[in-house]
Structure formats: structure tokens, C-alpha cells
Amino acid sequence: MNYDKLGAWAFILGALTAVLASFVTADTGLLKPILVVLGIIIGLLNINDKDITHFLVAVIAILVVGNANFDAVPVAGNLIKKTLQNIVVFVAPAAVIAAVKAVYSVAPGR
């Protein structure tokens, strides 16, 4: 099995799911677990040592923007907020894995 392709498809599927689910009003309860599993796959397969810092900075930016108040944006504010919340659910597990990898890489005696 080609893990690079699996990681790439997991990212594409997760990103599309996070965005498209923002347009759906009904919540089946499956969205968040699916996004978390895809995020774990991303963290394990896609984030290598040279990309950890860039990835973690990007995740911090998404977390900050995701907590912004989009109520002031007419019409699209709620959609933007839901999309960012879904993206945060998607990238958070990958960020945890990347952070653990980063800590391990600087651990003494490794």
C-alpha cells in the first residue's frame, strides 16, 4: 500500500468534508468522528520532520481565526464559522501528533 497516496487522499477527503459539511444543517453525529480519524491519518502519514513547524504555525493561525466573531459578517458569517470549526476538528488530531513528534525530536538521548 502506498502510504503517501493514502495520506494525500485523507487530506483531500477531510478538507472537502469539512467544507461541504458546513452547508448541511442536519447533524448525523458522524461528522466529527470522521474528521478526527482523517486528522489522525494526516498526522501519522503526512507531517514529516521538516514540515512540523510550518504545520503547527498554520494550525495555530486556524485556531485563532476559528475563534473570531463572524456574526458581524452578513449572510456568510455563520457559514464561515461552521467551516472553520470543522477544519479545526480535522487538523487538531494531526496537530497533536505533530507536536508529539516535535517533542520527541528534541528529547535528549533519543
Q: What is the pLDDT of residues 25-52, one digit of tens each?
A: 777 788 999 999 999 999 999 988 888 9
pLDDT at 36: 96
pLDDT at 60: 94
Question: Dmax over Cα atoms in the chain, in whole Å?
Answer: 55
pTM of the model: 0.86
pLDDT at 41: 94
pLDDT at 110: 63
pLDDT at 49: 87
pLDDT at 1: 65
Query: C-alpha cell of 63?
Result: 485556531
Tell me how far apart the alpha carbons of residues 82 and 84 are, in angstroms, rounded to a whole number: 6
Give the CA count within 13 Å in the CB-facing half-sphere of 66: 17
State which residues of the chain have pLDDT below 70.
Answer: 1, 110
pLDDT at 57: 95
Place of cell 516535535: 102
Query: C-alpha cell of 87?
Result: 477544519
Give the Cα-Cα-Cα angle 77, 28, 16 (nearest 5 degrees): 55
94 Cβ neighbours under 8 A, 6+ residues apart: 39, 40, 42, 43, 46, 47, 55, 59
